Structures are given as C-alpha cells and as structure tokens.
C-alpha cells in the first residue's frame, strides 16, 4: 500500500493529504451519519469568532457555471458556545482538527485562540482566516497587507504552541508576498486559496443574486486560478503549502500536489457529497499507481 | 439521513407545467415524514454543481414521489429521466410539520408547495385523522385533484376555471366556515406571496400556523449555511444567547412556526 502520510512540520503528520475546508463542513457533526471521519486527513471547522455572529441576510448563495457564490458573513455561534457544544465532539475525532479563526482585530483573533486553548481539548491547531475586515483599518482585509499579515501571525504565534496555518486570499496583487509575510510571522504553513471575489445579478431587474453584491466564488470554476496561486506561493515560501480551490476528484488533488502543495482541502464539492474527501483519499493509491508515481513526495512540485 | 441510489420508476406530466417522478428508495421511504425533503444530484459533471432539493410528495411502500416544475437547467434535465435511470439522492432532510394537539389541521398548498402538503394529506388520510385540504393554482389545468368540499378537498384557481375563484385564503375561509367553531390549525407550503398571506391571515385570526419555506440551498445538511431564513428575535431568548436572527431552512426548517418568520417581499 502506498504511504499517503504527509508531514507538515511541528510534529504534525496527516494520515493522508485530503482535508476538508473551512466553511464547507459546518461545525463538523452535521454529517456524522454519512462518513467515517478517521479516513480524512484533516478537518477545518467553519470560522469561529469571539462573539456569536448572525451572518448576512438571505440570499447568501447562488449557483454559477461550474461554481457557486457565497456571502455567509461568518455566521457562527461564537467561541464560548463552540468550545462547550462542538469542540468535545471534534476533539474526539481520529483526524487532525483545525479550528478556523476569524476576527475583526488582532486581539479578537488572539482571544478566540486563547479560549480554545483554555478548553484544554486536543486539536491539531488553527487555520487563520485573514480575509476578515480589520475594523481598525477601515474594514480593509488583514490578508491584503503583508505588514498586517505578519503582525497578526506573530501575535497568534505567541498565543499557541499548536499548529498555525494562515489561509491566503487570491484577491491580492502578489499572493507570494503575503505568504512570505505569514512565514516571517511564524506560520507553520499557508493554505490557499480562499474564494475569488465575484458577483451575479438578474439582467432584467439588476438585483444581485447574493444580497451583498460582492461575494466569493468557489467550485471547479476557480480551479485554474487556485493552481496558479498555489504554484506561486510554493515558489515563494519554504513552509508547507496546503492547496485548495475547486477540487472535485483525485486527479485534481494530484494537480495541486504537482504545483507544490503538501496537502489539499476539499471545499465546495462537500456540498454535493460530504463523503467525497474520503472517497478521494481511498482512490489516491490507485491513481498514483496508474501514473506510476511511487508516492506523493516523488511528484510534489513536478509541474513543468 | 442517508445517501441512496434510487431507480426512477416513472416520470411524467401530472398537470399543466407539473411533473411527477416516482423513485424506488426503501431507506428514504422508511424515514421520510411530511415536510421533509431530499437532495438530488442531477448529474456527475460540474454543471449544475449543486444538488436540487425537493419535498417528498408521497410514499407508498418503498416508492416515493416528487412533484416538481421545470424552473431551470437542473429540473429540465430531471424531467428527461427515463424509468431505469439511477439517481443519487440524499435524504430525508430537514424537519416536517409537528403534531397539533386536537385542533383540526387545515392543509394549504400552492405552487410546488403542493408536494409536501400532498404527503401530509396522504399520511393523515391513512391514519384516519380528520383534516381539510386546500390547494391553489392559477387555473384548473394545473390541478391534479378534484374539487370536492364534502370529501375535505377545496381547490382554488386565480381564473375561476376550477373550484373557488380566488386565492388559497378564499379557500381557507370557505373551509373554516364549514367547521362548527372547531379549533383549527393551518399547515402550509407555497411561494413567498402565499406564505405572507397565510402568515398575515392566521396571525390576525389567532390561528396556530406552521409554514414550510422554500430557499435556495447549497448542501441541504447544514454545512454551507447558505439557506438562511430571517426569524423574529424574542428578547428573552436573545439574552440567553439563543435568539439567532437567521436560521437555516435545511437544518432548522423547512417548517417554521408562522409567528417566528420574517417573510421578505419578493
């Protein structure tokens, strides 16, 4: 059997490279009837903020060609309820669990991590959602500025000994520069990409299909954008890169590994079938054998 | 909740613009309750990307039915499925209508909202539970039942070509007038305008009412949080941290108490 384990540094090893992405697997327990979580390489929760958030009014989503738009608005129960109601279930799973952290200030991100640390429940670490508006900076997203990204990362690095992964936005001039800022700040890994800014509207009425107008595009429509960004990030940093964006199949996973990803996350495809992550993980050895690749290490970064 | 490969047994026109599909699905049939829905994978390609949620319209043994209209690409493709086609279906999902003490249930359906109402009518009839059924459409050609008030079935049409000329509210008033002051409850499903009318009518007449909403859904199981439904926040609940302004049609609904819904204009 092909060895699918993936070493991510800081003593963290995934049993396979296939994780499920933040915001596409809820709090984790919604689909417990359908799958065995222990077959997943890892799971990233939906983004958790300090206080509960209502999120955006409907309509929050819209289907587009080979994709979908969303503006959920970080609707979540807040870290206190999360630690009480969901974290015990997540900590009991036999897969690497990452809590996705959202905030509107550096302090809020840190307080979320501190609350999870106080719960003393075992998780693998955190993924930092830097696509949040920074209230002290006029609502500009943390993730569009290398300085803010580095400052935030080093602040959070000081808050936890656990794995720290920073999730990058593609909606920037130079994603490599932001990735390097996260690396300088002490991130153990970067994950990319978050959704691509998009919009759809009714031609007859001019009404936006998603209430906020500007929203995030995901799904196979963004896969080529994601591959290009993961390629650029892999060239820019020496820490592991976790790739994502429109992965629907085992072939897509191998595409991301070949542009330099250490591991991958499945996002929108979970909405079609929450079992797709573990199905892909099961198919991976067979596909590697078919393309005569001895293992993931041998093909990583081999795009040419 | 389970994922089931369901064989299409039949798929044909039920009334004008309305299709009925029957599928073999023992697991979904065993668990499904009126008001619950299934989420259907249209095809394995990237387009359409998302499943199509549809209410269960009836269950007979290990066969369940869907009643649907062709709205777009997904339903157009589904309308072409032939008997023998295998469909990947996730369900049953969501929460159905809940029991209503000893009040007489008045079932009100319009548009494709007639599908779950039909299932509720079927279940109550099988249980021998008294109830009234009111179904509304634009014209008689869109109805698949006969107007028969003595049998508890009231049809309404906008153009007066079948049953009572008017909306389901006119049908509801007629059904209520046939009761001898018996306490009633309204269980409804339909397009937004109909839900608003039902909410307004039942609240002003202090009639308990449970409405099933239709929302665009991403996943149907609560993991995308896309199908938000605005609800009134009760001050005492809000203080307890439980007054969520937006609930999810798939997980918290699709059936809600009419009093808690904030129904937006179209």
pLDDT for position B181: 77
pLDDT surpasses 60 at A115: yes
- Measure Cα distances from A276 to A248, A259, A284, B143, B265 in Å: 8, 22, 12, 40, 37
A252-277 b/e with 16+ CB inside 10 Å = b?
A: bbbbbbbbbbbbbbbbbbbbbbbbbb
SS3 for A219-246 is: CHHHHHHHHHHHHHHHHHCCCCEEEECC
Q: Please report whether residue A204 resides in a domain.
A: no
pLDDT surpasses 70 at B265: no
pLDDT for position A137: 73
Q: How many CB atoms lie within 10 A of CB A158?
A: 10
CA distance A22 to A98: 9
Residue range A133-151: mean pLDDT, rounded: 84
pLDDT for position B50: 96
A184 close to B (CB below 8 A):
no
Please list every residue in chain A whose beta carbon sits closer than 8 Å to the beta carbon of residue B88: 273
Residue range B213-238: mean pLDDT, rounded: 86
Please list every residue in chain A whose beta carbon sits closer than 8 Å to the beta carbon of residue B230: 57-58
Q: Please report whether residue A290 resides in a domain.
A: yes
Q: Please report whether residue A1 resides in a domain.
A: no
pLDDT surpasses 90 at B16: no
Q: Quick check: A70 and B226 CB within 8 A?
A: yes
pLDDT for position B232: 85
DSSP B46-98: SSS-S-EEEE--EEETTEEEEEE---SHHHHHHTTPPTT-EEEEEEEESB---
More confident residue, A120 or B148: B148
A121-135, B126-140, B230-244: which range is least confident on average?
Answer: B230-244
- The domain of A273 spans 6-55+74-195+219-299
Residue B242: band (very low, low, confident or very high) from pLDDT cuts 50, 70, 90: low
pLDDT surpasses 70 at B49: yes
Residue range A162-176: mean pLDDT, rounded: 96
pLDDT surpasses 70 at B266: no
- What's A46's domain CATH number? 3.20.20.70
Residue range A243-247: mean pLDDT, rounded: 98
Residue range A60-76: mean pLDDT, rounded: 94
Residues A251-273: pLDDT tens digits? 999 999 999 999 999 999 999 99
pLDDT for position A243: 98
Q: Say how many CA atoms lie within 13 Å of B251 toward its Cβ.
A: 18
Regarding the domain with residue range B2-93, which homologous superfamily does it belong to in the CATH classification? Answer: Translation factors (2.40.30.10)
Residues B120-158: pLDDT tens digits? 999 999 999 999 999 999 999 999 899 998 889 999 999
pLDDT surpasses 80 at A147: yes
Tell me the catalytic residues of A: 132
- Measure Cα distances from A249 to A238, A245, A274, B11 in Å: 27, 12, 13, 31
Q: Quick check: A57 and B246 CB within 8 A?
A: yes
pLDDT surpasses 60 at B237: no
Q: Quick check: B223 and A56 CB within 8 A?
A: no
pLDDT for position B63: 98
Q: Please report whether residue A304 resides in a domain.
A: no
- Which helix (H) or strand (E) segment is A141 a member of? strand A140-141
- Which helix (H) or strand (E) segment is A257 a member of? helix A250-258
Residues of B at the A interface, defined by Cβ within 8 angstroms: 1-3, 41, 46-51, 88, 90, 215-219, 221-230, 241, 244-246, 251, 264
> Closest chain A residue to B221 measured between Cα atoms?
A30
How far is B183 from chain A, CA to nearest CA, in Å?
35
pLDDT for position A3: 87
- The C-alpha angle with vertex B211 and arms to B28 and B113, in degrees rounded to 5, equals 60
Q: What mean pLDDT is reported for chain B?
A: 91
Comparing C-alpha atoms, which of A98, A130, A93 is closest to residue A116?
Answer: A98
Residue A134: band (very low, low, confident or very high) from pLDDT cuts 50, 70, 90: confident
> Closest chain B residue to A28 measured between Cα atoms?
B223
Q: What's the structural domain count of chain A?
A: 1
> Closest chain B residue to A207 measured between Cα atoms?
B266
How far is A192 from chain B, CA to nearest CA, in Å?
19
Residue B209: band (very low, low, confident or very high) from pLDDT cuts 50, 70, 90: very high
Long-range contacts of A245-248 (CB under 8 A, 24+ apart): A245/A170, A245/A192, A245/A193, A245/A218, A246/A66, A246/A67, A246/A218, A246/A219, A246/A220, A246/A221, A246/A222, A247/A223, A247/A280, A248/A220, A248/A223, A248/A276, A248/B46
pLDDT for position B239: 56
Please list every residue in chain B whose beta carbon sits closer than 8 Å to the beta carbon of residue A62: 216
pLDDT for position B71: 87
Residue range B42-70: mean pLDDT, rounded: 95
pLDDT for position A141: 87
More confident residue, A229 or B111: A229
Of A26, A67, A272, the CB nearest to B222: A26
pLDDT for position B263: 87
pLDDT surpasses 90 at A84: yes
Residue A138: band (very low, low, confident or very high) from pLDDT cuts 50, 70, 90: low
How far is A151 from chain B, CA to nearest CA, in Å?
30
């Amino acid at each position: 059997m092909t060895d699918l384990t993936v070493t991510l540094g800081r003593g963290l090893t995934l049993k396979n490279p296939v994780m499920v992405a933040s915001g596409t697997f809820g709090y984790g327990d919604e689909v417990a009837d359908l799958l065995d979580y222990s077959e997943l390489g890892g799971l990233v929760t939906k983004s958790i903020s300090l206080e509960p958030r209502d999120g955006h009014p409907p309509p929050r989503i819209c289907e587009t060609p080979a994709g979908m738009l969303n503006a959920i608005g970080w609707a979540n129960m807040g870290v206190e309820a999360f630690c009480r109601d969901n974290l015990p279930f997540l900590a009991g799973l036999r897969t690497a669990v990452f809590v996705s952290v959202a905030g509107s200030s550096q302090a809020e991100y840190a307080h979320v991590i501190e609350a999870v640390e106080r719960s003393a429940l075992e998780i693998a670490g955190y993924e930092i959602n830097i696509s949040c508006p920074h209230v002290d900076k006029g609502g500009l997203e943390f993730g569009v500025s290398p300085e803010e990204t580095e400052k935030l990362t080093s602040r959070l690095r000081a808050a936890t000994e656990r794995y720290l992964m920073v999730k990058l936005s593609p909606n920037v001039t130079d994603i490599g520069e932001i990735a390097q800022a996260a690396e300088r700040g002490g991130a153990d890994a970067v994950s990319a990409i978050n959704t691509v800014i998009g919009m759809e509207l009714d031609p007859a009425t001019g009404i936006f299909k998603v209430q906020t107008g500007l929203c995030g595009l995901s799904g196979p429509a963004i896969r080529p954008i994601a591959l290009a960004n993961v390629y650029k990030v892999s060239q820019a940093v020496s820490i592991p890169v976790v790739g994502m964006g429109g992965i629907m199949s085992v072939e897509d996973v191998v595409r991301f590994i070949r542009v330099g990803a250490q591991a991958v996350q499945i996002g929108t495809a979970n909405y079609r079938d929450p079992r797709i992550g573990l199905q892909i993980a099961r198919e991976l050895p067979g596909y590697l054998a078919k393309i005569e690749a001895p293992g993931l290490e041998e093909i990583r970064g081999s795009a040419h | 909740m389970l994922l089931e490969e369901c064989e299409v047994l039949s798929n044909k026109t039920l009334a004008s613009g309305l299709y009925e599909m029957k599928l073999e699905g023992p697991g979904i049939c065993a668990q499904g309750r009126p008001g619950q829905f299934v989420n259907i994978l249209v095809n394995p390609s990237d387009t359409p990307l998302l499943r199509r949620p549809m209410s269960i319209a009836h269950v007979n043994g290990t066969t369940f039915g869907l009643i649907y209209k062709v709205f777009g690409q997904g339903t157009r493709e589904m309308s072409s499925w032939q008997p023998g086609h295998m469909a990947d279906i996730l369900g049953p999902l969501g929460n159905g209508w809940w029991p209503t003490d000893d009040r007489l249930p008045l079932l009100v359906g319009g548009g494709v909202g007639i599908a779950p109402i039909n299932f509720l009518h079927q279940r109550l009839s099988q249980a021998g539970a008294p109830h009234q059924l009111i179904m509304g459409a634009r014209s008689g050609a869109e109805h698949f039942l006969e107007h028969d008030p003595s049998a508890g079935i009231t049809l309404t049409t906008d153009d007066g070509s079948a049953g009572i000329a008017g909306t389901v509210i006119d049908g509801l008033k007629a059904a209520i007038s046939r009761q001898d002051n018996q306490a009633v409850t309204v269980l409804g499903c339909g397009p937004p305008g109909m839900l608003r009318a039902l909410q307004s009518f039942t609240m002003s007449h202090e009639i308990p009412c449970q409405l099933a909403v239709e929302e665009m859904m991403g996943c149907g199981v609560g993991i995308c949080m896309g199908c938000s439904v605005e609800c009134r926040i009760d001050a005492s609940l809000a203080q307890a941290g439980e007054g969520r302004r937006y609930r999810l049609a798939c997980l918290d609904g699709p059936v809600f108490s009419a009093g808690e819904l904030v129904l937006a204009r179209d």
